[in-house]
């Protein structure tokens, strides 16, 4: 099939590469000239395992191309995906201006029947707005071209997006007629050879499914973090509680690991957008509001522990921060807990030695670019030299089995703050560390 994808960010680029991998003819469109020129040369602007190699392979085969010209790019496409950003507005709602600008362009330039796919995460009712926008432009042109708008939410995990796309656990499609539904089924059937994971439904339900899925996962995280905080108060160990409840098949172990809060491009934005949608329709989403409040507070838990241990005035103290990205296997720092922790500590006079295997550039050039109290280093042990304590924020694999004896030698004080509960408290204390984690009472 001939496919165009408008928006060459995380979702658009992964989708384009994977569709091309299955033999489709794909062109990805973006308004950023430099990004497009780099992509044509196989230079990928984000870190995602396996993505760069797949992009280069399909460029060389002629299956994948990039352009800034939407008019020419969609001219012969049967399917056009809208995969542009939907940033969070000040009131928590999803900003649809870029989605509707793309819809307007499609209406201005489409020549033949087309399926327009909302791939961006959008609130319920967006497909109708996209349809209305396209039809308005067609009416201005005085042409009658048939088209369908469908919803196809993405469920990609950053750090595992290629595998998620190539081997989906479900493909959700919302459509209002059999023709569009069949075209989408044909497009995705090569990804579902072992069993059919295609879930067809009405458009509004598909739009709702994405928000409901992310809100559910965020709820599990905030719930477990709340249990963690209670455990600290009553003297229980949240790690043992997790084992106790996770063995119940109705609960399971996924997303019940206590930590220092969730971040990223999806959970924070989607929880707030769903809550805003509910309020717009006259419903107060009490659970969603609580999920967000718990997460907001949880991002400060580790910083508060550091302040409790070292005092409010942190002048003269140096802390080694391990991990900047919101999760391992990505360079994404959107809503990352590391930002909160570093800001809380440096505002009190602390200096930070920061190390992350992939997110340093993002931190230096964007998310923490104005913070002059940070020194970025090239390795995890470089961060520790002369530091008063280690703060583990992101659970990258290289942090799982460090040389603790070497760490003790390099630290001014053998203090280790663990924001992800990676290690055994008993073992760390046996090795002579003052080990401070989350959710373990004294």
Catalytic residues: 266
Beta-carbon count within 10 A of 311 CB: 11
Query: Strands across the sheet with 318-322, in order?
Result: 374-376, 351-355, 318-322, 389-392, 415-418, 434-436
In 20-59, which ranges are E strands?
25-29
116 touches 70 (CB < 8 A): no
79 φ, ψ to 5°? -130, 130
- Alpha-carbon gap, residue 27 to 4, rounded angstroms: 5
Bridging pattern class, strands 79-82 and 64-67:
unpaired
Q: Where are the alpha helices (DSSP H) in 200-237?
A: 203-234
186 touches 196 (CB < 8 A): no
How large is the C-alpha radius of gyration of the chain?
A: 24
Alpha-carbon dihedral 35, 39, 45, 49, rounded to 10 degrees: 160
Beta-carbon count within 10 A of 288 CB: 24
Of the candidates 6, 4, 204, the residue with the CA atom closest to the CA atom of residue 101? 6
Residues 6+ apart with CB under 8 A from 303: 340, 341, 344, 345
């Amino acid at each position: 099939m001939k496919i165009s994808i408008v928006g060459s960010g995380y979702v658009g680029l992964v989708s384009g590469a994977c569709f091309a991998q299955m033999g489709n003819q794909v062109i990805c469109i973006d308004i950023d000239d430099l990004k497009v020129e780099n992509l044509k040369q196989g230079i990928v602007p984000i870190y995602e395992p396996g993505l760069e190699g797949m992009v280069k392979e399909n460029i060389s085969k002629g299956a994948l191309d990039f352009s800034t010209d939407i008019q020419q790019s969609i001219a012969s496409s049967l399917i056009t995906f809208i995969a542009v950003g939907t940033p969070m507005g000040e009131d928590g709602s999803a900003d649809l201006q870029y989605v509707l600008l793309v819809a307007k362009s499609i209406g201005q330039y489409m020549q033949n029947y087309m399926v327009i796919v909302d791939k961006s995460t959008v609130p319920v009712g967006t497909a109708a707005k996209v349809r209305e926008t396209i039809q308005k432009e067609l009416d201005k042109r005085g042409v009658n071209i048939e088209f369908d708008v469908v919803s196809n939410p993405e469920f990609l995990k950053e750090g595992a997006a290629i595998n998620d796309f190539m081997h989906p656990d479900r493909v959700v499609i919302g459509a209002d007629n059999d023709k569009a539904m069949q075209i989408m089924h044909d497009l995705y059937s090569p990804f579902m050879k072992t069993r059919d994971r295609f879930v067809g439904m009405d458009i509004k339900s598909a739009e709702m499914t994405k928000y409901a899925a992310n809100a559910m996962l965020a709820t599990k995280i905030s719930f477990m973090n709340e249990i963690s905080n209670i455990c600290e108060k009553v003297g229980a160990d949240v790690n043992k509680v997790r084992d106790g409840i996770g063995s119940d098949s109705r609960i399971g172990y996924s997303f019940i690991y206590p930590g220092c809060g969730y971040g990223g491009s999806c959970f924070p934005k989607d929880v707030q957008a769903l809550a805003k949608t509910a309020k717009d329709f006259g419903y107060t989403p009490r659970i969603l509001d609580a999920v967000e409040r718990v997460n907001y507070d949880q991002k400060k838990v580790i910083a508060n522990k550091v302040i409790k241990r070292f005092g409010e005035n942190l002048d003269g103290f140096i802390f080694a921060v391990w991990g900047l990205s919101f999760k391992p296997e990505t360079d994404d720092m959107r809503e990352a807990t590391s930002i909160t922790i570093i800001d809380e500590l440096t505002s009190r006079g602390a200096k930070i030695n920061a190390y992350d295997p992939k997110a340093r550039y993002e931190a230096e050039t964007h998310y923490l670019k104005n913070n002059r109290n940070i020194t970025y280093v090239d390795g995890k042990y470089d961060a520790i030299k002369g530091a008063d304590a280690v703060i583990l924020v992101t659970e990258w694999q290289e942090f799982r089995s460090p040389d603790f004896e070497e760490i003790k030698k390099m630290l001014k004080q053998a203090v280790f703050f663990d924001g992800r509960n990676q290690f055994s408290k008993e073992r760390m204390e046996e090795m002579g560390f003052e080990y401070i984690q989350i959710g373990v009472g004294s």
